[in-house]
Structure 1
């Protein structure tokens, strides 16, 4: 095969087009900068050499790529590529993705029920959502997705993967998963995933078991309501299960931690721009009554789960049991774009009350316990023993 090398010709028409495109980009940057005027940031001059290179490549693709693309399509691809290279958690969201994000925050969407993160050439499953098709099929935290609907995922971001896996209720999605070197095939039927984020039960010895699967808008309120119900049923200790909880909204995490704390910092965020710095403090009310507390975490506990675990650990309010958490210590903001699209952009890191940034590190439990089998939940058993000891000690 021969590769033909040609020199880019500076034809007047192309030059005029390049100038118009460059001008549009510069004006776009200027307009965006004006919208951020509330945050004083020194604006560097536009790097003209880099901009000229971009325009030259853009024109070459527009004129010579084997498949013709419109300006709108090319600019869309440029936008997606820009965000793709930032970090694993930033992504472009089209109008459908924005709707799905809102549904997820509310707790209902169509899919198979998995939380994902791109790592290397594949997509890692953070956790299957409780009672979802993925959960029932036996998909596990730490599994690697290599193909979706027969398409290799190498080089794709979470946005592209979600597009492949999205579809109407009742339709099927095929996955190829790599687990401990073994290739596994799954055929899952999409359904409405209702992520009721809190469930609870009164266990033996008056232990109030609280399971949070995801942090949604009403998680904090739902948790307190179930705590009140369990107190009336005779509970006098708390066991909070955050295993395989991929996270959710920052405010919900602060509300959950506040249900067990009565003072001090819960979490702070630090961003490049001052208005992105936030601080959440505990209120004096105490739905937990100060009763002994144990929290279950594992490597599927991420983001908002780690905010709660970190706050409880730093304030020495309870004991953590299980495995080291996932280590997602960043905050994503949703930026709305025209025509219903948007960008999920990493804009800050969060810090535990003692000032720890756990990004890519995770939170270490006080008592490290591995679950060796699905049938025998050693982590739960150990947490129950520990919370009973804490009660006796108190």
Structure 2
């Protein structure tokens, strides 16, 4: 985000610097608008039924002006500004969801994996109708974040309308400390690595490359399934460096603001030496922003197959501009474009192979089946296998098997990544 913010701030300052001087007519129109604002300010301050300070009126005016632009632009009070700085630290207290405001409705972009929200069953596309009994209809995005976040151990009550339901559901979620483990790996079969990115934090690329290197010390890498499902994004610089791990050269993404001449391209630096294997990337409606940058770059470079469902479509760049009083403005200043010039905004990434997710068999049904399945290890006084390495290998294989059983998209991704070399030969 720091890289993104610096770049976007550069765009903004550069645009302001080279903007042509306003004409006399423009100056008159500007003065009349300020005069009208001053008159309204005086009338509200004088006649409004409740006491209200001029500072409150101006703060609310700025807030309303910014938040009417788009769902991601907002005015940040000094407290809000400090809160924003928590996002890249990798740990905060809350329930663990990324939210957005779509057409005035508070929408879950994605629950963060292994967090209270994820465990409570919140899904991408769910609508949050109430927070602790208060309607979200007129609630700003920052106010919603404030209401949802809180001290570890406290409870927040949400009224949720799941995307495939007609009846709202009350969900009580106990807040916790949200440590973000952004990289997870699992060997699916010998040489085929499942690589899961849950968010793009400051250390994501480093951790990902470390795990790739560790896996290759004990396995000959044959293929990678890169899972970006329900990954709400994060830092632009990390999206670029993650994509650079798989793409050898060329453009990864470019951003462009209001002035078409002020375009910034991000290129691959040739860091893909350790990952030159078949690649399948999984996306869904919870894959947003940085996830879409990575998926778009892989797709445009024909580096691998994109599988799953259309991504979220969050393709705008926000700049955090600090103000002298400690407040700030979060302002949309540019859009992301894929290497082939496709805008991600409100479009998302369409997968090469569309596969809807099919919910797994209920846990109780599976438990019932397993209850009547007897193996050697279930017999009393069975002999233990003395090899720790073999035990670890068996446990690893069992975990991979369970993952594949519960995830139809992952099963297809594994079959595709195994088949890619043969498909290339046919072409």
**TM-score, normalised relative to structure 1:** 0.87
For residue 381 of structure 1, the aligned residue among 399, 411, 420 is: 411
- Show the counterpart of 1:110: 93
The answer on whether the counterparts of 2:315 and 2:336 sit within 8 Å (CA) in structure 1 is yes
For residue 207 of structure 1, the aligned residue among 187, 192, 205 is: 192
Q: Tell me whether 1:98 sits opposite 2:76 in the alignment.
A: no
Q: What SS class does the counterpart of residue 51 from structure 1 fall into?
A: helix
Flag the 1:38–1:210 CA change in 2: closer, same or farther, 3 A.
same
Q: Write out aligned runs for 1:12-27 (5 A).
A: none
Looking at structure 1, the residues matched to 43 and 16 of structure 2 have their Cα atoms a distance apart, in angstroms, of: 39
Looking at structure 2, the residues matched to 275 and 200 of structure 1 have their Cα atoms a distance apart, in angstroms, of: 41
Looking at structure 1, the residues matched to 155 and 218 of structure 2 have their Cα atoms a distance apart, in angstroms, of: 43
Q: Tell me whether 1:231 sits opposite 2:220 in the alignment.
A: no
Give 1:163 deviation, angstroms.
1.6
For residue 301 of structure 1, the aligned residue among 287, 291, 304 is: 287
Flag the 1:358–1:210 CA change in 2: closer, same or farther, 3 A.
same
- Show the counterpart of 2:176: 191
Q: Write out aligned runs for 1:154-303 (5 A).
A: 154-179=137-162, 180-234=165-219, 235-273=221-259, 277-303=263-289
- Show the counterpart of 2:379: none
Give 1:221 deviation, angstroms.
1.3
Looking at structure 2, the residues matched to 92 and 276 of structure 1 have their Cα atoms a distance apart, in angstroms, of: 25
- Show the counterpart of 2:386: none
- Show the counterpart of 1:66: 49
The answer on whether the counterparts of 1:91 and 1:344 sit within 8 Å (CA) in structure 2 is yes
Give 1:174 deviation, angstroms.
1.2
Q: What SS class does the counterpart of residue 280 from structure 1 fall into?
A: strand
The answer on whether the counterparts of 1:202 and 1:233 sit within 8 Å (CA) in structure 2 is no
- Show the counterpart of 2:301: 315
The answer on whether the counterparts of 2:245 and 2:275 sit within 8 Å (CA) in structure 1 is no
- Show the counterpart of 2:17: 39
Q: What SS class does the counterpart of residue 338 from structure 1 fall into?
A: coil
The answer on whether the counterparts of 2:15 and 2:259 sit within 8 Å (CA) in structure 1 is no
Give 1:166 deviation, angstroms.
2.2
Q: What SS class does the counterpart of residue 63 from structure 1 fall into?
A: helix
Q: What SS class does the counterpart of residue 81 from structure 1 fall into?
A: helix
Aligned-residue Cα RMSD (Å) equals 1.9
Flag the 1:374–1:103 CA change in 2: closer, same or farther, 3 A.
farther
> When the two structures are aligned, how many residues end up with a matched partner?
361
Give 1:51 deviation, angstroms.
1.8
- Show the counterpart of 1:353: 339
1:139-169, Cα deviation, whole Å (9 max, x unpaired): 1111000111211111322111112112222
Gaps of 5+ in 1: 1-33
The answer on whether the counterparts of 2:246 and 2:271 sit within 8 Å (CA) in structure 1 is no
Gaps of 5+ in 2: 1-11, 362-405
1:100-121, Cα deviation, whole Å (9 max, x unpaired): 3222212111111111111123
- Show the counterpart of 2:66: 83
Looking at structure 2, the residues matched to 259 and 369 of structure 1 have their Cα atoms a distance apart, in angstroms, of: 26
The answer on whether the counterparts of 2:191 and 2:223 sit within 8 Å (CA) in structure 1 is yes
